Amino acid sequence: MRLPDGPPSATAHLYLREEQIRQSYEALMLAWRSLNSECETLLRENGLGSAHHRILFLVAAHPGITPSALLASLGITKQSLGRALGDLRERNFLVQEEDRHDRRKRPLKLTPEGEAIERQLFQLIRDVMTRAYREAGVTAVEGFKRVLSPLPIAPGGGFR
C-alpha cells in the first residue's frame, strides 16, 4: 500500500482513501453546478452572469464590503471585477459609496433593485439547499459545516 504524499497530518487519517476524497470533490463540483443551474434562467433574463451573481450575494451578505475585499474573496482579475461592478451599477443593482473615515475605500451596497434580484436568486438556492438539508438531517448538516470550515481559502479572501 502506498501512503499519501505530504506532511504527517495528511497521513494521519488513513481511513480517508483517495477514492473517497475524489468522490467528495466530484460531489462538490456537481452540487456547485446544480446550484448555479437553478439560477441560470433568472440571471440570463437580467443579462447577468455568474460573476455578477457572486458579487450580488457577497454584497448582500456583507453590506459595505469594499472592492478589494471582493477581489480577494472571488479570486478574479481586477479587470473582471471592474467590468462586473460597472454592469451592476449601470443596471442600478449596486451603488458604490464613499467611506466617511477613509475616502480611498469605496464600500458597496445593493440598491432596492439589487436586493430584489439577489433575494430571488438566493430563494432558488435556498429551496434546493433546504430540501437537501432536510433529507440529510441535522447531524449531517453540522458535519458538512465541520468538513467545510477547515478548508483553505484564497489568501486574504473569505468571510468567517
Q: What is the pLDDT along the chain (160 residues), one digit of tens a residue?
A: 444 555 555 555 656 788 888 998 999 999 989 888 989 999 999 999 999 999 999 999 999 999 989 998 888 899 999 999 999 999 999 998 776 776 667 899 999 999 999 999 999 999 999 999 999 999 998 998 888 888 876 444 454 4
- Average pLDDT along the chain: 85
Write down the pTM of the prediction.
Answer: 0.79
Rounded Cα distance, 126 and 61, in Å: 14
- Write out pLDDT tens, residues 126-151: 999 999 999 999 999 899 888 888 88
DSSP result, 103-152? TT---EEE-HHHHHHHHHHHHHHHHHHHHHHHHH-HHHHHHHHHHHTTS-
142 touches 56 (CB < 8 A):
no
Q: What is the pLDDT of residue 99?
A: 67
Q: Hey, what's the cell of 91?
A: 443596471
CA distance to 29, 56, 89, 100, 135, per residue, from 73 (Å): 19, 13, 20, 24, 30
